[in-house]
Amino acid sequence: MESYAPEKIRNVALIGHYGSGKTSLAELMAFRAGAIKRLGSVNEGSSVSDYDQSEIDRNMSISLALLPVEWKGYKLNLLDTPGYADFAGEVKTGLRVSDACVVFVCATSSVEVGTQQVWAYSRELDLPAVCAISKMDRENADFQKTLADMQSKLSSRCVAIQMPIGSQAGFKGVIDLVTMRAHVGESEQDIPSEYTDEAQGLRDKLVETVVEVDDELLTKYLEGGELSVEEIVDAVRRATAQGIAIPVFATSATLAIGADTLLDSMCSVLPSPVEQQAASSELVPSPSAPAQALVFKTTADPFTGKISYFRVYAGEIDSNSQVWNVNKSAAERIGQVFVPLGKHQHTVARVSTGDIAAIAKLGVTSTGDTLGARDLQSPLEGIAFPKARYSMAVQPDSKADLDKMSTVLPRMVEEDPSLVLRRDPDTGETLMSGLGDTHLEVVKERMSRKFGVKVVLGTPAVPYKETIAVPAKSEHKHKKQTGGHGQYGHVLLRLEPLPRGSGFQFEIKVVGGAIPSNYLPSVEKGVNEGVHEGVLAGYPVVDVKVTLYDGSYHAVDSSDIAFKVAASQALRKGFQQGQPVLLEPIMDVTVRVPEGMTGDVIGDLNTKRGRVQGMNPEANYNVITAQAPYAELLHYSIDLRSMLQGRGDFDMEFSHYEEVPAHISQRIVAQHAAKAE
């Protein structure tokens, strides 16, 4: 693959709802451009993009895939993104290094929630966009209805630049509304007479929208002047770059219709890296400038090691050279640079400004790092990944997996930064958090398939605590007499409940040498060990003050161990006398919900023992603030997605501990007792 000037490169993210046909049309475009010799199929697991076994098994994209194609003197880096919500991190990655995007909308199901979500991501970056109405050959496909839905739910700026000839089983070609020519198969012809009026109406709307980009053009149009095809093409290009227009195409991957015209339009309508960088940053997109590249994706492979995908924003990156990692302040040795096409690799001597490639086996570099010249002062902006809101406890399947798990889990996080790994200090569990249950299941599968590590995912344990409700006094005399030295330790403790969040306090108020000072540390040790396990269900004890106020000793038989045992037993008695209660973590929850679904969410929070504390309107959403027990929110990410069809989101953070209601507390204590038996 030859090197291209930045002006001749197009970096385009393909985005849309799961099942909207992105990968199938990307496959067709790669085939039409000659990048692949055989046309694969998503359903058969033979597409060039979806080559991972998890993708083949599920018939859907899971990872971002790069498809570089050459088309009529241009190089197009097509970034095929997943449409399923659990893999939104890959969408954000693809959009971050793209200069434009193609939004896919299915002609039968119109704008779905996933389309709206990825559209919102593209708006955050203000990327120029075109839309492809896909699956025009399907039953119930309706171009006009889908276009109206796009104008309603995405942008009123969506305007047809093509219209279909026929529909569903009768879909056979498209009409170019700029040139007013029909394209059927390989031939170009006059527009069939039955489509003339509709085509003219859509063309008028297109021209009316794009002439806004230029005052002179607008004046000419309003005065009834005839615009040339060249003037309209130029206006479409500039209007698309500025977001004034979002051209809409008609396609069908199954019938191989629309791929060529979409490729043509990417070259003629969408901006090059030079144009887009000039509009969005101060970075000079020149091959002669100092090198500057962003690593946007990392994959872990047990055979080839780490592979880092990068986009060059300035200068050039050469094979077998050295670059500087700005984020880590470290030199990196560059080996052979290559351009991935699915799982295949094409080696190249260098990668120039605006282009995308990959390198294997970088030492310290991770996703989001900037590589370049040593004198670079600041790194490029990284990637904003979506928050991981769904957590599972991860455990090794066997002892053999235990050691390997600790080394493989960080590699999975390196490969997918939308994953979060942490150890819960209260429960001792390793928690893996992601964007949903499918996300974590895929990680589990990859750990097994790539690295031979089998893990078990389970619901996280709730970090309950125990405390006492009333003050209590207790004593314990640990006395044993065997041949020779015996054991003797005697302590008296006073226990007092403290306000929530006070933790645990220990105080010594022994007077008159009732317990010699050398045994006091043993008493404290016995108490400190005792608070790790309460009397109700074995949970740690908090919000209690324990005071050692008296005791006795034996000149011969007393020992450190005797006082330690006496202290822990006295503490246990004190817990039992102090009306022990169970405490549970309460979370602050903020839910962003569409206006029409607010009642459903509030009702659901009430069933989860939640307390709604406030509500504020925000655009077409309501933001609900509430508090609810963590135990009720372990699967809230999935519950909320199901309830809102993915149209809302939430944040959750720890607030405080509260007493567990009696009927729930009894159940937890009974479960603990059964488990102990």
Residues whose CB falls within 8 Å of the CB of residue 473, separated by 6 or more in sequence, listed in order: 492, 493, 494, 495, 574, 577
The answer to whether residue 376 scores a pLDDT higher than 70 is yes
Q: What DSSP designation does 492 have?
A: E
CA distances from 377 to 274, 295, 296, 535 (A): 22, 17, 20, 59
Q: What is the DSSP string of 325-347?
A: ETTTTEEEEE--EEEEETTEEEE
Q: Which of 633, 639, 635 is nearest to 600 (CA)?
A: 639
Q: What is the mean pLDDT of residues 174-193?
A: 92
Q: Is the distance from CB of 458 to CB of 393 less than 8 angstroms?
A: yes
**Dmax (CA) of the chain:** 118
Given pLDDT bands bounded at 50, 70 and 90, which one contains residue 282? low
Domains and CATH numbers, the chain: 6-279 (3.40.50.300), 292-372 (2.40.30.10), 390-458 (3.30.70.870), 465-578 (3.30.230.10), 582-665 (3.30.70.240)
Q: What is the mean pLDDT of residues 65-91?
A: 95
- Is the backbone of residue 218 left (phi > 0), alpha (psi -120 to 50) or beta? alpha
Give the rounded percent of residues in the chain with a pLDDT score beyond 90. Answer: 78
Q: Is the distance from CB of 259 to CB of 32 less than 8 angstroms?
A: yes
The answer to whether residue 281 scores a pLDDT higher than 80 is no
Q: Is the distance from CB of 604 to CB of 641 less than 8 angstroms?
A: no
Q: What is the mean pLDDT of residues 416-424?
A: 94
The answer to whether residue 205 scores a pLDDT higher than 90 is yes
The mean predicted confidence, pLDDT, of the chain is: 92
**How many Å apart are CA 549 and CA 279, to the nearest integer?**
74
Return the structure tokens found at 46.
């033979």
Helix (H/G/I), strand (E/B), else coil: 466: strand
Please tell me the predicted confidence (pLDDT) of residue 484. Answer: 66
Q: Any idea which of 60-69, 72-81, 301-310, 500-509 has the lowest mean pLDDT? A: 301-310
Q: What is the DSSP string of 627-667?
A: EEEGGG-TTHHHHHHHHHTT--EEEEEEEEEEEPPHHHHHH
Please tell me the predicted confidence (pLDDT) of residue 47. Answer: 84
Q: What is the mean pLDDT of residues 511-517?
A: 87
Please tell me the predicted confidence (pLDDT) of residue 221. Answer: 84
Distance, CA of 369 to chain centre = 18
Q: What is the mean pLDDT of residues 622-643?
A: 94
Q: Any idea which of 47-61, 93-107, 166-180, 487-501 has the lowest mean pLDDT? A: 47-61
Q: What is the helix, strand, coil percentage profile of the chain, to 5? A: 35, 30, 35
Q: What is the mean pLDDT of residues 356-366?
A: 94
Q: Is the distance from CB of 658 to CB of 587 less than 8 angstroms?
A: no
Q: Which of 231, 182, 224 is nearest to 210 (CA)?
A: 231
Contacts from 329-336 at CB under 8 Å and sequence distance 24+? 330/363, 330/364, 331/374, 332/362, 332/363, 332/364, 332/365, 332/371, 333/362, 333/363, 334/359, 334/362, 335/359, 335/360, 335/361, 336/360
Given pLDDT bands bounded at 50, 70 and 90, which one contains residue 480? confident
The answer to whether residue 343 scores a pLDDT higher than 90 is no
Q: Is the distance from CB of 669 to CB of 581 less than 8 angstroms?
A: no
- Is the backbone of residue 454 left (phi > 0), alpha (psi -120 to 50) or beta? beta
The answer to whether residue 489 scores a pLDDT higher than 80 is yes
Please tell me the predicted confidence (pLDDT) of residue 280. Answer: 66
**How many Å apart are CA 627 and CA 611, to the nearest integer?**
5
Q: What is the mean pLDDT of residues 437-461?
A: 94
Q: What is the DSSP string of 166-222?
A: S-GGG--EEEETTTTEEEETTEEEPPPGGGHHHHHHHHHHHHHHHGGG-HHHHHHHH
Number of other CB atoms surrounding residue 102 within 10 Å: 26
Model's pTM, two decimal places?
0.89
The answer to whether residue 320 scores a pLDDT higher than 80 is yes
**Tens digits of residue pLDDT in 125-160:** 999 999 999 999 999 999 999 999 999 999 999 999
Q: What DSSP designation does 495 have?
A: E
Please tell me the predicted confidence (pLDDT) of residue 97. Answer: 96
Q: Which of 28-42, 457-471, 500-514, 662-676 has the highest mean pLDDT?
A: 457-471
**How many Å apart are CA 97 and CA 377, to the nearest integer?**
21
Please tell me the predicted confidence (pLDDT) of residue 483. Answer: 64
**How many Å apart are CA 329 and CA 479, to the nearest integer?**
64
Please tell me the predicted confidence (pLDDT) of residue 56. Answer: 79
Please tell me the predicted confidence (pLDDT) of residue 319. Answer: 95
Q: Burial letters for 291-329: b for 16+ Cβ neighbours within 10 Å, e otherwise?
A: bbbbbbbbbbeeeeebbbbbbbbbbbbbbeeebbbbbbe
Q: What is the DSSP string of 99-150?
A: SEEEEEEETTTBS-HHHHHHHHHHHHTT--EEEEEE-TTSTT--HHHHHHHH
Please tell me the predicted confidence (pLDDT) of residue 224. Answer: 83
Counting beta carbons within 10 angstroms of the beta carbon of residue 359, is it exposed (0 to 12), middle (13 to 18) or buried (19 or more)? buried
Residues whose CB falls within 8 Å of the CB of residue 657, separated by 6 or more in sequence, listed in order: 465, 500, 501, 542, 543, 583, 584, 585, 586
**How many Å apart are CA 196 and CA 173, to the nearest integer?**
15
Q: Burial letters for 560-593: b for 16+ Cβ neighbours within 10 Å, e otherwise?
A: eebbbbbbbbbbbbbbebbebbbbbbbbebebbb
